[in-house]
Chains A and B, each alone.
Chain A
Amino acid sequence: MVTYIIRRIIGAVLMLAVVSMVTFAIFFVVPRAAGATADDFAARYVGKSATEETVGNLADRLGFNDPVVVQYGRWVKGIVAGAEYDTGAGVENCPAPCFGYSFISHQPVWNDLLDRLPVTVSLASGAAVIWVLAGVATGVLSALRKGSVFDRAAMGIALAGVSLPVFFTGIVSLVIFSYGMGITAPGGSFTPITENPAEWAYNMILPWITLAFLYAAGYARLTRAGMLETMGEDYIRTARAKGLPERTVITKHGLRAALTPIVTIFGLDFGLLLGGAVLTESTFSLNGVGKFAITAILKNDLPQIMGVTMLTAFFVVAANLIVDLLYAVVDPRVRLA
């Protein structure tokens, strides 16, 4: 078990290293290969009006003329130990973890990300609670009443849930519940949970439900399929033969086994969402990481784009690591692997 944990942690760290290299390569090596010069890079940091000389100077100062490996090393060092950017006009300070410094917003990228994270974390975790509970419960009931009216209705709705895009369901629910009935927030506002939990929930409820609907549908289908499979297993028959009440057979023996693959998928989904729920955040005008990413791309703010990419990668890798560890707790056979 201990070796399993150590192996997974080493694996996760290696994975992050690889992701950082790939990210770096995409933003710095590939453009080079496509013909971009050091000055082209520097030009992005000072705006279009700068003279060639200023740009050339800046390219030197920011190190765009150094070998790629040195640049990568400097970038990683910034994440670990912080960095300083000498633009000639002054020194911009970017403390660790320095995921780059935006010369457009004149802010370390990390500060911006920290501002947005509470929104995205609130959105993702609230939605996750709803979709896991609703999805799994629906899936279990559907499986136990396979072919019933409930099953067919639930699976019909689930199909809609999987196929309808968030901006559609989001806008429809905004029109109905916020503008029509006036019982939910119209979007665009966020209150930290630490300030006012009730208002936090009031503002988030519609985005939660909209996002949860998308995922709950998939989880319901997955749970249903998993339950149908496990309830046919021999060990379920054994559990019944022992004289266990049916409720115990379903939850302790059936659901326990059916949940394992769902835990895996959940880790991936949740990790990815923490890197920004782009569509939901845009639909409800929430200033989360996803919206930040979109803005960064529109502004062509390279350090910001790289920062978001690394953050998302970090969440996905971390979520995967947690899932791997959870998996070993849930399924003892995994510990041998």
Chain B
Amino acid sequence: MTFLELKDLRIHFPSDDGLVKSVDGLSFRLERGKTLGIVGESGSGKSVTSLGILGLHKGGRAKISGEIWLDGEELVSASAEHVRTLRGKKMAMIFQDPLSAMHPFYTVGAQIMEAYRIHHDVSKKVARKHAIEMLDRVGIPQPDRRVDSHPHEFSGGMRQRAMIAMALSCDPELLIADEPTTALDVTVQAQILDLMRDLQRDFNAALIIITHDLGVVAELSDDILVMYAGKAIEYGTAEDIFERPEHPYTWGLLGSMPRLDRERTERLLPIKGSPPSLINVPSGCAFHPRCVYADRTGGRSTSDVPELLESEGGHLVRCHLSRDVRRAVWENEIKPNLEAS
């Protein structure tokens, strides 16, 4: 049985201007001990997806359909109260900006203890000892002293470590990290990613890493899902995505990927244009207004929504270009260009 499976998940928000289709038919599977990277520009629906898995849209304005299967349980139809008891224990989340994601008035230790004590009936003393162990585990020096510090007394990297300690305190089986390194500077980013890789091995959790930066997931992920306008547009192993990507949007992401062997500001090729409105999604392929290959599909890019189809061995692509054309463009036009820059 698959540990986590999303089937045609849709999360839509009614608004004054119309229905915001933040997630629009998303499906994927994830096994224990494996890492899935979800990549896409900001506004593509990544955070809404992760909050949806945790059940945090329940009771709000969101219209949710589809299925989320976690360890044999379906969560979309489950009661809000039941999903709450799974949160923190069975599935946990690490957020982007640890300064705003931690409560400014409570000590780091108190916040970790709180997470632990909701799901474990233990004394404050035991919980405190556990919190210190967790802080030690994520590499915070002098954890028995730092446990009484407030978030603002930590550096950015230390805060994110504390946030990770909090998320892992109940030994969750599914861990979702939503842009865990975006708020950090480059050297700290690498440390945090190393830490997450080590911890995942130790905890054997299923890990979802969400980012707008393909570089972040390059080394960590087993599989990668590329998202655009609430939909998966390409899905495959990390090798599929980096060695033989087939979707024009993925090519764009690869071109705009900051690389360590390159000056940060130099030669980033951002994808032209901006992410589409999720209320009036462009007709046909949502990417067509920004796609330089849209005129090679005989008009279908603007009229028909492409299906997410298998290219080869579980590698899925949502594009009207034929597989041969995609492969030829990648080999002859894109890859040489990326290597040259």
B118 within 8 A of A: yes
| Minimum CB–CB distance for A191 against chain B, Å | 42
Of chain B, the residue at the smallest CB distance from A332 is: B150
A4 within 8 A of B: no
Restricting to A238-269, which residues have a CB under 8 Å from any CB of B?
Answer: 238-245, 253, 256-257
Question: Which residues from A are CB-within-8-Å of B84?
Answer: 243, 245
- Assuming the A-B contacts A234-B97, A237-B56, A333-B152, are A243 and B103 also in contact, with contact meaning beta carbons closer than 8 angstroms in the complex? no
B95 within 8 A of A: yes
CB-CB contacts of B134-167 with A at 8 A, as 1s and 0s? Answer: 0000000000000000101000000000000010
Give the residue of B89, B101, B150, B152 whose beta carbon is less than 8 angstroms from that of A237.
B101
A168 within 8 A of B: no
Restricting to B84-139, which residues have a CB under 8 Å from any CB of A?
Answer: 84-89, 92-93, 95, 97, 100-105, 107, 114-115, 118-119
Interface size on B, residues (CB 8 A): 27
B20 within 8 A of A: no
Give the residue of A233, A241, A244 whose beta carbon is less than 8 angstroms from that of B92.
A241
Bound-state Cα–Cα, A240 to B54, Å: 9
Restricting to A9-56, which residues have a CB under 8 Å from any CB of B?
Answer: none
Bound-state Cα–Cα, A331 to B104, Å: 7
Bound-state Cα–Cα, A336 to B151, Å: 13
Bound-state Cα–Cα, A113 to B315, Å: 86
- CB-based A-B contact count at 8 angstroms: 66
Interchain CB contact under 8 A, A333 and B114 = no
A179 within 8 A of B: no
Interface centre among A240, A257, A331 (most CB of B within 10 A): A240
| Minimum CB–CB distance for A330 against chain B, Å | 7
Question: Which residues from B are CB-within-8-Å of A243?
Answer: 84-89, 115, 118-119
- Assuming the A-B contacts A243-B85, A244-B114, A333-B150, are A238 and B95 also in contact, with contact meaning beta carbons closer than 8 angstroms in the complex? yes
Interchain CB contact under 8 A, B103 and A241 = no
A150 within 8 A of B: no
Of chain B, the residue at the smallest CB distance from A330 is: B105
Question: Which residues from B are CB-within-8-Å of A244?
Answer: 88, 114, 118
Interchain CB contact under 8 A, B87 and A242 = yes
| Minimum CB–CB distance for B68 against chain A, Å | 16
Bound-state Cα–Cα, A330 to B106, Å: 9
Interchain CB contact under 8 A, A235 and B103 = yes
Bound-state Cα–Cα, A99 to B22, Å: 69
Interchain CB contact under 8 A, B104 and A234 = no
Interchain CB contact under 8 A, B87 and A333 = no
Question: Which residues from B are CB-within-8-Å of A242?
Answer: 87-88, 92, 114-115, 118, 166
Restricting to A306-337, which residues have a CB under 8 Å from any CB of B?
Answer: 330-333, 336
Give the residue of B85, B101, B118, B150 whose beta carbon is less than 8 angstroms from that of A238.
B101
Bound-state Cα–Cα, A244 to B83, Å: 11
Of chain A, the residue at the smallest CB distance from B80 is: A246
- Assuming the A-B contacts A241-B54, A242-B88, A242-B118, are A257 and B103 also in contact, with contact meaning beta carbons closer than 8 angstroms in the complex? yes
Give the residue of A234, A241, A257 whose beta carbon is less than 8 angstroms from that of B105.
A257
14 additional contacts, CB 8 Å, given A238-B103, A239-B103, A253-B103?
A235-B101, A235-B103, A237-B56, A237-B95, A241-B92, A242-B114, A243-B85, A243-B86, A243-B118, A245-B84, A256-B103, A330-B105, A332-B105, A333-B152
Residues on B lying within 8 angstroms of A by beta carbon are: 51, 54, 56, 84-89, 92-93, 95, 97, 100-105, 107, 114-115, 118-119, 150, 152, 166
